[in-house]
């Protein structure tokens, strides 16, 4: 949501801008559907629609539009093949992308404010880009992340679910919890942090979690909801509290459920769970040792390995 916040700040400062949005991509296109960037009237550039010579040319096109009257939205096709004459992007990676251009000024402040507010409140919102302009609407049930209807120069409708796409529950507010909160916030996740301790300095310093919940771990299942799109990372203070949380959450359906701990600790914990009647199938649903194996040592390196594993799982389907 940093992108929309940036747009809002530029508009509130009285600057006009050109928004470029990739509404369709095919093949090996460097700019994927949903990529976006803007150029301000003072030549500030933010975001990306694929990079390279193509992006440079479209940025220069956007800058030139400020010398003209505000324009109606239009589409520009970019084909990444050297032998193509029309709509050639200058890149040779194959594939193509369709970029929509929009002129935004102070008249759009209320629209963008609505988007930013929805993000802050963790409310779902639907972005629609069409030949008339940019709109934010109530989400449509069962809609894919992206949807494009019609794509000719005179009429199109691009829909995208925006605001938070994913939520992560981090159980444990220590040094790794702080680092992971920072990374997952940057990656666009809604971050909820749980801990049973008071006045912990790493929790006080954690400005990245959108919610911080003080909780007795015996009641963790009452606070962490079951949602197949959510991720759960367990890194509480010790073995006993980890086991207590696993006992309550192990049967739930999450996109990702990982537990931090050494191999020796996790073997002991899993054997204890088996003795308590939990099945191997239940235990196999837990990611542990947690994170991709990158020989991480520092809290931030461990957080990077966990974040990378979560991204891999999220993007598998």
pLDDT score of 195 more than 80: yes
- Provide the mean pLDDT of the chain: 89
Starting from the edge strand earliest in sequence, which strands make up the sheet with 133-137, in order? 133-137, 125-130, 156-162, 146-151
Question: Where residue 220 falls among pLDDT bands split at 50, 70, 90?
Answer: very high
Average pLDDT of the segment spanning 162-167: 74
Cβ contact 170:194 at 8 Å: yes
pLDDT, tens digit (0-9, with 9 covering 90-100), for 132-147? 999 998 877 767 778 8
Compute, in degrees rounded to 10, the torsion defined by CA atoms 140, 144, 150, 154. Answer: 70
Q: Is 276 exposed, middle or buried (0-12, 13-18, 19+ CB in 10 A)?
A: exposed
Q: Where are the domains of the chain?
A: 2-162, 166-316
pLDDT score of 160 more than 70: yes
Percent of the chain past pLDDT 90, that is, above it, reads 58
To the question of domain 166-316 being in CATH 3.40.50.300, the answer is no
Round to whole Å and give the CA distance between 244 and 248. 7
Average pLDDT of the segment spanning 215-221: 92
Residue 317, pLDDT score: 60
Round to whole Å and give the CA distance between 166 and 190. 6
245: helix, strand or coil: helix
pLDDT, tens digit (0-9, with 9 covering 90-100), for 230-281? 999 999 988 899 999 999 999 999 999 999 988 888 899 999 999 999 989 8
């Amino acid at each position: 949501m940093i992108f929309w916040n940036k747009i809002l700040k530029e508009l509130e400062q009285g600057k006009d801008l050109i928004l470029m949005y990739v509404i369709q991509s095919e093949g090996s296109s460097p700019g994927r559907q949903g990529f976006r960037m803007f150029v301000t009237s003072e030549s500030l550039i933010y975001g990306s629609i694929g990079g390279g010579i193509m992006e440079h040319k479209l940025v220069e096109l956007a800058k030139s539009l400020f010398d003209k009257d505000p324009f109606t939205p239009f589409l520009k096709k970019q084909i990444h093949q050297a032998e193509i004459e029309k709509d050639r992007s200058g890149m040779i990676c194959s594939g193509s992308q369709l970029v929509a251009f929009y002129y935004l000024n102070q008249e759009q402040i209320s629209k963008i404010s609505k988007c930013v507010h929805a993000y802050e409140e963790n409310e779902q919102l639907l972005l629609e880009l069409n030949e008339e302009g940019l709109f934010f609407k109530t989400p449509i049930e069962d809609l894919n992340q992206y949807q494009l209807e019609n794509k000719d120069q005179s009429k199109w409708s691009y829909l995208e679910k925006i605001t938070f796409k994913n939520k992560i529950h981090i159980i444990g507010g220590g040094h790794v919890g702080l680092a992971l909160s920072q990374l997952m916030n940057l990656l666009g996740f809604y971050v909820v942090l749980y801990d049973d301790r008071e006045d912990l300095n790493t929790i006080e310093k954690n400005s990245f979690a959108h919610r911080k919940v003080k909780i007795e771990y015996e009641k963790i299942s009452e606070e962490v909801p079951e949602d197949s799109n959510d991720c759960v990372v367990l890194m509480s203070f010790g073995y006993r509290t980890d086991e207590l949380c696993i006992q309550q959450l192990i049967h739930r359906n999450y996109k990702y459920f990982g537990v931090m701990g050494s191999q020796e600790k996790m073997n002991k914990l899993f054997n204890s769970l088996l003795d308590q009647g939990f099945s191997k199938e239940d235990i196999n649903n837990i990611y542990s040792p947690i994170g991709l194996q990158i020989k991480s040592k520092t809290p931030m390196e461990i957080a990077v390995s966990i974040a990378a594993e979560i991204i891999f799982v999220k993007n598998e389907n």
